[in-house]
Amino acid sequence: MQCFDGQCRVVCLGAGYDTLPMRLARDRVKPEVWVDIDMSQNAEEREGLMGTTLARGFIDTPVQWHFNIGHDLRKGLPELPGSPDLPTLFIAECLFMYLEPKYTGLILAQIAMMRRTCIVTYDAFNPNDGFGKIMIRNLKQRGLSLEGVLGCPTLEDQRDRLSKAGFKVTAARDCKDLFDNHIDKEAKETASRKVMIDEWEQFNMLIVHYCCTFGDNGTGVMLL
Ligand SMILES: C[S@@+](CC[C@H](N)C(=O)[O-])C[C@H]1O[C@@H](n2cnc3c(N)ncnc32)[C@H](O)[C@@H]1O
């Protein structure tokens, strides 16, 4: 957003109750348009939360640039507010792991076809080792089906999924790699204090089961 001096759009898929746009805006970092998409009921609740407690005191006029859309993403992307010429960053945090791969493929292909887009995802993966199997079993017992994890189990699969959808530049890294090699010491210390990590062995085991991916549709959004 800083690269584009705010002249860009961010679309968060399966936004849940994430307050990121408000937190960024509090720090005076905001795009021209921010769109949060989730199922209708969640989007309505989110609207209420954002409109009252969260936004109040954080920023002055969230409605001018922030949009909540209630929409089932299994139908593909809805029509998005903002100019299609704006470079657009899509964020999907813990969404694709719950969706059947055919729906994820459809959404990714739609994004890749748009004018100037890139996507960052964060999801569970690596379900086939001992820890991964327990993770899947435990979540299943809680009624959560992880078709997206089973359908895209390795980092290579995660990258392939982006390439097949039409992204020209792709990357996938597990969170241990990101934590160990791509986060500066200060940020690591802050994170460690916040989550009180005292069992490093368990933490390391967990974070090799989460990954971030990146895709750019080749129009140079992230290649400034
Ligand atoms: C685990 S939550 C993650 C929320 C948020 N991204 C975060 O990281 O805090 C997954 C979100 O995806 C939403 N979701 C799942 N399937 C969806 C669908 N088909 N269409 C729209 N949203 C969906 C859920 O309602 C939920 O809010």
Q: Which of 11, 17, 23, 38, when mutated, tests ligand 1's pocket best, judged by the most ligand atoms within 8 Å of its CB?
A: 38
**Ligand 1 center to residue 17 CA distance, Å?**
9
User: Mind listing the pLDDT tens digit for each residue in 46-66?
Assistant: 888 766 655 555 555 545 788
- Please name the amino acid found at residue 76: G
**Ligand 1 center to residue 94 CA distance, Å?**
7
Which residue's CA lies nearest to atom 27 of ligand 1? 16
**What pLDDT is recorded for position 22?**
80
> DSSP character for 125?
-
User: Mind listing the pLDDT tens digit for each residue in 125-177?
Assistant: 999 999 999 999 998 999 988 999 999 999 999 999 999 999 999 999 999 99
pTM tops 0.75, yes or no: yes
Which whole number is the average pLDDT over 173-189? 91
**What pLDDT is recorded for position 155?**
97
| pLDDT above 70 coverage of the chain, percent | 90
> DSSP character for 93?
E
Phi, psi for residue 143 in degrees, rounded to 5 = 85, 10
